[in-house]
Structure 1
């Protein structure tokens, strides 16, 4: 959750996180093999007025 953040800024941040994860090579403890990882992130804008926190968290988990 990024309270007070615009949709555009949240999208920019999500893309930076995605690129950072994509560039990193994750090595197994043996160091003999590395894997590439990619992720998908989404952004949703919600007007929090009148939404109970617990209900908000339940809605997020459904996505």
Structure 2
């Protein structure tokens, strides 16, 4: 599965990074960096939590 980020909605709060630090990182300028676009089955639950926890709805599964 792949992750999609709507950069116009992301505010760099870092909730996703706190949930799944192997997938998401907020860089020094406050921008979200996807460390991986493709996730494994084992990582899926954490990414799902990050998607659900994003207050700006910037994260979703890509089609």
Larger radius of gyration: 1
Superposition TM-score tier, normalisation by shorter sequence: under 0.3
Q: When the two structures are superposed, what TM-score results if normalisation uses the length of structure 2?
A: 0.26
Task: Judging by fraction of residues, say which structure has more strand.
Answer: 2
TM-score w.r.t. structure 1 length?
Answer: 0.26
With a CA cutoff of 8 Å and minimum separation of 6, indicate the structure with the bigger relative contact order.
Answer: 2
